[in-house]
Amino acid sequence: MASLGRNALLDVKAIEDADIVELRLDLVEGNPLEILKVVRRATSLPIIATNRPSSEGGQFQGSEQERILVLQNASDYADYVDIELRTESRDDLLDSIDKPAIVSHHDFFRTPPREELRSILKEISGTRAEIAKIAVTPSRLKDNLLILDFLLEAEMSLCMIAMGKLGKHLRALSPIYGSVLTYGYISQPTAPGQMSVSELSQAINLLI
């Protein structure tokens, strides 16, 4: 997957190694919906609309109500909408869109223990999510083993991301263990430890 940020209109021309596009509406410069429309016209690849708040590592500057409204409007042009598990009025937002939802949770400080991960996934599975996304931060290499094992036991479609330097290699390994999505960037990372789409594609091709 290619994750597009500030240079979305330029980057959309260089996504040949991706099979899906995430547009980070909180990072683009200009009207996010107008940029989404341009990206929609420029590619036939599926698009994920994401609008991260600062609490989840994003840069959206408006109110929570404004952020939610952007996501609602974005659902008219995107194929998937990423909604954070802790979003205010999350279930109302899920009910208001008619596109498949990715319900996500991010921990930028640690890798929670297995039982906590199970609790997070159970909570996501109780929503209208088609895909669960859990992004965590390994503080030791052993955390990566927990992440891979957790992928193997998941009973719903799960994207598992290991952020930061210690988890960087898992962006290529996690699809082998069942992660339904993995993220790379075009011109600059949109999350800690991301590889470029071309690096990620090459690494995955070497492994499978």
Catalytic residue among 133, 142, 165, 169: 133
106 counts as catalytic: yes
Across-strand partners of 2? 21, 184
133 counts as catalytic: yes
Catalytic residue among 13, 37, 105, 106: 106
Catalytic residues: 106, 133
